[in-house]
Amino acid sequence: MGMLDTLLDIQSHDTTTDQVRHRRATLPEREELASLRDEIARLDGQCATLINRRDELTAQERAFAEESAPLEVRAKNDEAKLYSGEIASPRELQALQADVEQLRRHQRGVEDRQLGLMEQREGTESELAEIDEKRADVVKRAEALAAALGEAEAICDEEMAAEEKARAALASELADGLLDDYEQARKRAGGIGAARLVGDTCQGCHLSLPATEVVRLRKQTDDVAPFCDNCGCILVPS
Ligand SMILES: [Zn+2]
């Protein structure tokens, strides 16, 4: 096998490596994983808002509980006095009775508001539990996807390593300079450094070469690299 044919084999390995690298860079799992991570971040934001709201409601609830406790004590004391028999004056009794009623009304008002807050807090807590559950589900899916992505990447890495190993073995057979010419041609021609000349057509760019040029190329010896005038790749006559 001539050196130029070896170059075609190298090109074939390089093309495969490029394809695998592209496949690795565009694995669908990666994009899906990114969108799941966005979803987790969004749910985290919702959780933080709900936790803030719950804590605020808890604090307000506690404030109302603290307001109602002394009202209860005062009402009880007044009721005890009312029924103790210590007070004989009907007017005083009536006034005390009115005080007790006023205290109890105040207490009920405070407790109603406390109850309203408790209901809101419980609603917030169940919303929070729902989001926690949703988040756990997304986290589970993200973990499975991350594992699948890792596996797919590892398969690509193995394939590329095998291609590169085979390529290195072939490259060691090439004359100095030819590989450099190939690498430069590959850069110029967007990945194609060497292509077969079939008839008068370069298989790199699929354009025809002038007949005189084809004749000249076919006469050339193997150790001179002929380039395609159109795409710049090294032509390997068949
Ligand atoms: Zn060409």
CA of 21 to the centre of ligand 1 (A): 24
Digitized pLDDT (tens) for each residue of the chain, 238 residues in all: 588 899 999 999 999 999 999 999 999 999 999 999 999 999 999 999 999 999 999 999 999 999 999 999 999 999 999 999 898 899 999 999 999 999 999 999 999 999 999 999 999 999 999 999 999 999 999 999 999 999 999 999 999 999 999 999 999 998 878 999 999 999 988 899 999 999 999 999 999 999 988 888 888 765 567 899 899 999 998 8
72 assigned to some structural domain: yes
CA of 11 to the centre of ligand 1 (A): 14
Enclosing H/E stretch for 236? strand 234-237
14 assigned to some structural domain: no
In the prediction, which pLDDT does 123 show?
98
Residues 116 and 41 in one domain: yes
Number of domains forming the structure of the chain: 2
Residues 139 and 47 in one domain: yes
Residues 144 and 197 in one domain: no
In the prediction, which pLDDT does 222 show?
59
Angle at 183 between CA 181 and CA 184, to 5 degrees: 65
5 assigned to some structural domain: no
Residues 85 and 53 in one domain: yes
This prediction's pTM = 0.75
Residues 148 and 188 in one domain: no
Residues 55 and 112 in one domain: yes
- Pair of tokens at residue 73: 């004590």
Residues 149 and 199 in one domain: no
Domain hosting 183: range is 178-237
Which of 99, 122, 157 corresponds to the end of one domain? Answer: 157
How far is residue 101 from each of residues 64, 67, 82, 84, 164, measured CA to CA in Å?
19, 17, 12, 17, 92
Q: Torsion over CA of 59, 63, 68 and 73, rounded to 10 degrees? A: 110
162 assigned to some structural domain: no
CA of 177 to the centre of ligand 1 (A): 20
15 assigned to some structural domain: no
In the prediction, which pLDDT does 24 show?
98
Using CA atoms, how far apart are residues 225 and 229, in angstroms rounded to an integer? 12
CA of 196 to the centre of ligand 1 (A): 9
Strand order of the sheet with strand 234-237?
201-202, 194-198, 234-237
17 assigned to some structural domain: no
In the prediction, which pLDDT does 190 show?
86
φ, ψ at 88 (rounded to 5°): -100, -30
Which of 124, 157, 190 corresponds to the end of one domain? Answer: 157
Residues 32 and 116 in one domain: yes
Residues 135 and 226 in one domain: no
CA of 22 to the centre of ligand 1 (A): 23
170 assigned to some structural domain: no
CA of 16 to the centre of ligand 1 (A): 19
CA of 9 to the centre of ligand 1 (A): 17
192 assigned to some structural domain: yes
Residues 120 and 184 in one domain: no
DSSP letter at 168? H
Contacts of residue 137, defined as CB under 8 A and 6 or more positions apart, other chains included, come to none
In the prediction, which pLDDT does 1 show?
57
Using CA atoms, how far apart are residues 37 and 143, in angstroms rounded to an integer? 10
In the prediction, which pLDDT does 226 show?
87
CATH at 130: 1.10.287.1490
β partners of residue 236: 196
DSSP string, 111-145: HHHHHHHHHHHHHHHHHHHHHHHHHHHHHHHHHHH
Which of 97, 123, 157 corresponds to the end of one domain? Answer: 157
CA of 205 to the centre of ligand 1 (A): 4
CA of 194 to the centre of ligand 1 (A): 9
- Pair of tokens at residue 57: 């409601």
Using CA atoms, how far apart are residues 100 and 79, in angstroms rounded to an integer? 7
CA of 220 to the centre of ligand 1 (A): 17
Residues 122 and 213 in one domain: no
